[in-house]
Amino acid sequence: MEFKIQWFPGHMTKAKRMMETQLKLVDVVIEMLDARIPRSSSNPMLIDMLGNKPKVVALNKTDMADAEKTELWIKGLKNKSFSVVQVNCATGKGVKQLIAAAQMAARPISEKWAKKGVKNRSIRVMIVGVPNVGKSTLINRLVGRTKVVTENRPGVTRGQQWITIAKGLELLDTPGVLWPKFEDPQVGFDLAVTGAIKEEVFDRGIAVDVLLEKLQKEYPAQICETYGIELSEADTVRDIETKIAKARGCLKAGGLLDLDKVIQLVLRDFKTGRMGSFTLNEPPRSL
Ligand SMILES: Nc1nc2c(ncn2[C@@H]2O[C@H](COP(=O)(O)OP(=O)(O)OP(=O)(O)O)[C@@H](O)[C@H]2O)c(=O)[nH]1
Ligand SMILES: [Mg+2]
């Protein structure tokens, strides 16, 4: 089974161009990754776009990710040139540390200003990341109220918006950006099932088949617990879907399996975290 997707709508091309222009004006970039898919949510175009610009990586939605793997991801990603902070923007956990890390990354620049006698210049931080990863939610957390629109669907933020967070610190919210081609089908799949890609542009049936196959291997107990079913290793994906359908009454007239309903149910339960916490990308082995 192969999951294919190619999606680069017009507004994202525009967003990428805007991002390039704004980059010239910012001092630090926060790259927000989805802790469930740190590898697949990292934009491969960003390295070139950033050049020497200081960066801080934020692993968000840690409440929905496998905590052990998040720790390993943090160790594996940490690098001499940037720090990695885990956050949960839904509750605000880790947000203070993230801002401290951004301020630290800006220190060489602010020291340079100080030497030149420049005063009252704010540190400008830009947040980038795939659609729906939680960029606007972070801004609202920092401001302490709803300043920018957030919603659980990709493509909510369209324009760029500067927000003053505190004295001397400004943050730029940007629209989520994807890249033209997902060379690896796994990347498209990961982005689809975690909510970075609109459901209208991928085959939900294939996505759920691939997802159940993966969960059966890596997290079988979570499927059993969520739906109150028992699985055996010999179960095919269709067997699992049938068991879920029976447990949840996803049946059509005559007792026939209503596959569409199962697909909808599984995708929703996975995306909302109702099925549990998962990390779909294996952490890199630390050196
Ligand atoms: N569980 C959980 N949900 C989160 C977290 N952070 C954000 N969300 C939710 O994720 C959804 C998307 O958040 P947004 O802040 O709108 O995402 P965005 O990155 O600005 O998305 P675009 O503007 O489309 O690029 C919202 O429903 C948030 O409530 C988190 O740490 N944990
Ligand atoms: Mg947004």
**Domain range annotation of the chain:** 10-173, 203-271
- Ligand 1 atom 9 nearest Cα: 134
Ligand closest to the CA atom of residue 133: 1
* Fold of the 203-271 domain: Conserved Hypothetical Protein Ylqf; Chain: A; domain 2 (1.10.1580)
Per-residue pLDDT, averaged over 126-148, amounts to 92
- Residue 170: strand pairing partners: 124, 164
Least trusted range by pLDDT, from 13-17, 176-180, 227-231, 277-281: 13-17
Ligand nearest to the CA of 91: 1
Instruction: Yes or no: say if 190 and 267 are a contact pair by the CB < 8 Å rule.
Output: no
Query: Is 29:128 a contact under the CB 8 Å cutoff?
Result: yes
Interior CA angle at 119 toward 117 and 125, to 5°? 120
User: Which whole number is the average pLDDT over 15-34?
Assistant: 91
Task: Give the pLDDT score at 236.
Answer: 96
CA of 260 to the centre of ligand 2 (A): 30
For the CA of 140, the closest atom of ligand 1 is: 15
| Ligand index nearest the alpha carbon of residue 139 | 1
Compute the radius of gyration of the chain from its Cα atoms: 21
Cα 160 to ligand 2 centre (Å): 9
pLDDT at res. 165:
87
State how far the Cα of 97 lies from the Cα of 56, in Å rounded to an integer. Answer: 11
Q: What tokens were used for 157?
A: 């933020």
Query: Which CATH architecture describes the domain 10-173?
Result: 3-Layer(aba) Sandwich (3.40)
Q: How far apart are CA 251 and CA 287, in angstroms?
A: 51
- Across the chain, what does the average pLDDT equal? 91
Separation CA 26–CA 122 (nearest Å): 10
Tell me the residue ranges of DSSP E strands in 139-184: 161-166, 169-173
Residue carrying structure tokens 């109220």: 145
Atom of ligand 1 nearest to the CA of 62: 31
pTM: 0.94
At residue 6, the pLDDT reads 62
Residue 214 banded pLDDT, cuts 50, 70, 90: very high
* Residue 286 scores a pLDDT above 70: no
Judge whether residue 5 has pLDDT over 60: yes
Please determine, for residue 14, whether its predicted confidence score (pLDDT) is greater than 90. no
Instruction: Note the pLDDT of residue 9.
Output: 64
How far does the centroid of ligand 1 lie from the alpha carbon of residue 90, in Å?
A: 8
Which residue has the least CA distance to atom 1 on ligand 1? 61
pLDDT at 7 over 70: no
Measured in Å, residue 275 CA sits from the centre of ligand 2 at 25
Please name the residue that has the structure tokens 């300043």: 147
> Alpha-carbon torsion 213, 218, 221, 222, what sign?
negative
Answer with the residue of higher pLDDT: 155 or 9: 155
pLDDT value at 178 more than 70:
yes
pLDDT grade, residue 78 (50/70/90)? confident
Which of 91, 128, 139, 150 has the most ligand 1 atoms within 8 A of CB, as the residue to mutate?
Answer: 150
Q: Which residues line ligand 1 (CB under 6 A)?
A: 60-61, 63-64, 88-90, 129, 131-137, 150-152, 154-157, 175-176, 273
Residue 81, pLDDT score = 87
Half-sphere exposure (CA, 13 Å, Cβ side) for 1?
17
DSSP code of residue 121: P
The model's pLDDT over 241-280, given as tens digits with 9 standing for 90+, comes to 999 999 999 989 888 889 999 999 999 999 999 999 999 9
Ligand nearest to the CA of 152: 1
> Mean pLDDT over residues 83-91, rounded?
96
